[in-house]
Amino acid sequence: MKESKRRENPTSAQGVACPKCEHVNDAGKHTCRRCGSHLYVSCNACGAHNARVRSHCHDCGQRLHRGLWRKIENRLSRKSKGKVKLIHLVLLVASILLAYKIIVMLAEFQPAPVE
């Protein structure tokens, strides 16, 4: 409950709470004094200045941050990363084959009889 109250009112008489480290910064500061993260974001639709902890613009109601699914879609659809994906696939297949060989060798291993 305490966390949700902080997010509802990120600015107070004391200053602005940092969304990453929760340090209370002086009013008017644009970056956190402790961790250096930005305290405000601009709305892409109307350009309004919003506290970073807000999810929607206080002027127009537009969503300020991309959702997790959208971030994943953007990362998967990047064309420049296609070669990296192929390399990852090759390494994964090679790792699986190596693990299979090791398991088979261990299964077939017969220790010397103890006399």
Listed by start position, the domains of the chain span 1-65, 79-108
- 3: pLDDT strictly greater than 50: no
pTM for the predicted model, two decimal places: 0.46
Banded model confidence at residue 83, pLDDT cuts 50, 70, 90 = low
Banded model confidence at residue 1, pLDDT cuts 50, 70, 90 = very low
CB 49 within 8 A of CB 65: no
CB 56 within 8 A of CB 44: no
- 11: pLDDT strictly greater than 60: no
pLDDT number for residue 19: 83
pLDDT number for residue 13: 61
Q: Residue 85, Cβ neighbours under 10 Å: how many?
A: 11
CA distance 25 to 16: 5
Between 42 and 80, the more confident residue is 42
- 8: pLDDT strictly greater than 90: no
pLDDT tens digit string along 22-79? 888 888 888 999 999 888 888 888 989 888 888 889 999 988 887 777 777 777 676 5
